[in-house]
Amino acid sequence: MSKKKSNYKTTHKKQPRANKKIGKAPGTVTYLGFREGQKSDVSIIEFDENSYQVYQTDVVEKILDFKNSPSTSWINVVGLSDEAYIENLGRTFELNPLTIEDAVNTSQRPKIDEYENYIFCVLKMIYLDANNELVSEHVAFVLMDKAVLVFQELKEDVFNGLRDRIHTKSGRIRSRGADYLLFTLLDAIIDNYFVVLENINSKIEQLEEEVYDNPTPYTARKIQDLKKEVLRVRRRIFPVKELINRLIESENPLVTKDTKLFLKDLMDHCLEINESLQIYREMSMSLLEMYMSNVSNKMNEVMKVLTIMASIFIPLTFIVGIYGMNFSFMPELEWKYGYFVVLGVMLTLFITMLILFKKKRWL
C-alpha cells in the first residue's frame, strides 16, 4: 500500500522520462514506471448479447483471435514493464510504434490519437486506496472494430462494477459494441474523479476549521500541500475534457452516433469536474489569505496585551521610583499619610487606564 503512495509522489519528484529517454530513438518502447520486472498478465472478457466468457492467456496469437471474432472483446493487459512482450503484442495487433511507446509511457499526459484502424487514448485512473491515499495510475485504451485493448500497470482498477454488469447482463453493455465498452470504461474512470473531488473538498473543510479554530505554522504547510495537490490533480484531469470532445467530433466509423450521445453526457461530467477543481483552487488560495489574516489578528492580540501591561505599569513604576530616591530633602516622604496618598494616586491612575483601554475596545 505504501508503495502506491510513494508512487503517487515520486511520479512528480523525478521526471524519469528525462533520464531514461534521452538519446534513444523516437518510437523506442521504454517503460517509465516503478514496477520493473513484472510479467504482463493478459485476461480477456468476450461477450455478446447471449454469451459471456473469460480467458487467461499470454500467447499473442491467441489474443489476436479475439480481435477478429464477431463478439466484442475486452482485452486487459496488466503489467507494462516487459517491454519486449508489449512490443510484440503491439506489432501483432498492427499498432503504430508510437502507440506502443505511449502505451507503456506511464508519464504520458492524457491524449487521443486517431489511426486508420483504431483509436488510441491515454488517461489517468485516480482513486483512493485502502489507506485513503490518492493513487494515480496510467491506463491506455486501443479501440478497435470488435475489441478494446486496455493497458494498465497494476491489477487494481476501477472497473469491477463494469465487470459485474457484463457478467449479470445489467444495463445496455452486452447488447452494444466495442465503442460502448470504451465509453463505459471511460465512464468508470471519470466517476471515480468525483471521489477525488470529495476527498479534496473534505480536506479543504478540515483546513478551514483548523484555520479558524487553531492555526499553527504547520497549518500553512498543509494548505500549501493542498494547493499543490489540486494543481496536480487538475493537470491530470483537465486534458480529459479535450479527449472526450475529440471522440465526440471524430468522424471515425469506430465511434457510432449512438455512443456519441453517451459521450456527450460524459463531457458534462468533465465540465463539472473542471469547474469544481477551479473552485477548489480558488478556495485553497483563500485559505492561505485567511490564515495570514488570522496570524495578523493573533499578533494584534499579543501586542495589545503587551501594550496594556506596559502602559499601566511603566508609569506606576516611575512613580514608586520617585519616592525611592534618596534626596535628603523630599517633603512628601515626611508626610504622615504620604505613602497612602501615593498608593491612592496610583490606584486612580490604574483605574483610569483600564477605563481608557476599555473605551478603545482593547479589553
Q: Which of residues 31-90 bind its own copies (CB under 8 A)?
A: none
* Distance of alpha carbon 332 from alpha carbon 330, whole angstroms: 6
Question: Which region among 1-9, 35-43, 164-172, 247-255 touches its own copies (by CB under 8 A)?
Answer: 164-172
Of 28 and 256, which has the nearer Cβ to its own copies?
28
Closest CA to 155 of 300, 295, 67, 41: 41
> Does residue number 345 form part of the binding site for its own copies (CB under 8 A)?
no
> Does residue number 15 form part of the binding site for its own copies (CB under 8 A)?
yes
> Does residue number 256 form part of the binding site for its own copies (CB under 8 A)?
no
Applying CB under 8 A, among 6, 175, 206, 305 the residue interacting with its own copies is 305
> Does residue number 14 form part of the binding site for its own copies (CB under 8 A)?
yes
Applying CB under 8 A, among 60, 64, 248, 290 the residue interacting with its own copies is 290
Give one word for 27, left, alpha or beta, with left for phi > 0 and alpha for psi -120 to 50: left
| Residue 99, amino acid | T
Contact map string, positions 183 to 222, toward its own copies, x by CB under 8 A: xx--xx--xx-xx-xx--x---x------x-x--x--xx-
Applying CB under 8 A, among 82, 102, 137, 229 the residue interacting with its own copies is 102
Give one word for 303, left, alpha or beta, with left for phi > 0 and alpha for psi -120 to 50: alpha
Applying CB under 8 A, among 92, 206, 275, 352 the residue interacting with its own copies is 275
Closest CA to 188 of 89, 103, 74, 276: 74
> Does residue number 116 form part of the binding site for its own copies (CB under 8 A)?
no
98 CB neighbour count, 10 Å cutoff = 14
Q: Are 36 and 104 in contact (CB under 8 A)?
A: no
* Residue entry with cell 493478459: 42
Positive or negative CA dihedral for 30, 33, 37, 41? negative
Applying CB under 8 A, among 54, 279, 351, 354 the residue interacting with its own copies is 279
Applying CB under 8 A, among 298, 348, 352, 354 the residue interacting with its own copies is 298
Of 13 and 132, which has the nearer Cβ to its own copies?
13
Contact map string, positions 124 to 153, toward its own copies, x by CB under 8 A: ------------------------------
Closest CA to 240 of 281, 283, 202, 194: 194
Query: How far lies 324's CA from each of 61, 231, 333, 347, in Å?
Result: 106, 67, 10, 18
Q: Are 127 and 190 in contact (CB under 8 A)?
A: no
DSSP character string of 4-56: HHHHHHHHHH--HHHHHHTTSPTT-----SS-TTPPPEEEEEEE-SS-EEEEE
* Shortest separation between residue 68's beta carbon and its own copies, angstroms: 25
Burial class (CB in 10 A: 0-12, 13-18, 19+), 128: middle
Applying CB under 8 A, among 317, 345, 351, 352 the residue interacting with its own copies is 317
Question: Which region among 20-28, 35-43, 68-76, 139-147 touches its own copies (by CB under 8 A)?
Answer: 20-28
Of 129 and 187, which has the nearer Cβ to its own copies?
187
* Residue entry with cell 504622615: 336
Question: Which region among 67-75, 76-84, 147-155, 312-320 touches its own copies (by CB under 8 A)?
Answer: 312-320
Q: How many residues bind its own copies, per CB under 8 A?
A: 118
Contact map string, positions 325 to 344, toward its own copies, x by CB under 8 A: xxxxxx-xxxxxxxx--xx-
* Shortest separation between residue 72's beta carbon and its own copies, angstroms: 16
Question: Which region among 41-49, 83-91, 135-143, 261-269 touches its own copies (by CB under 8 A)?
Answer: 261-269
Of 36 and 116, which has the nearer Cβ to its own copies?
116
* Shortest separation between residue 274's beta carbon and its own copies, angstroms: 11
* Distance of alpha carbon 310 from alpha carbon 317, whole angstroms: 10
* Distance of alpha carbon 208 from alpha carbon 182, whole angstroms: 39
The interface with its own copies within residues 225-244 (CB under 8 A) comprises 227-228, 231-232, 235
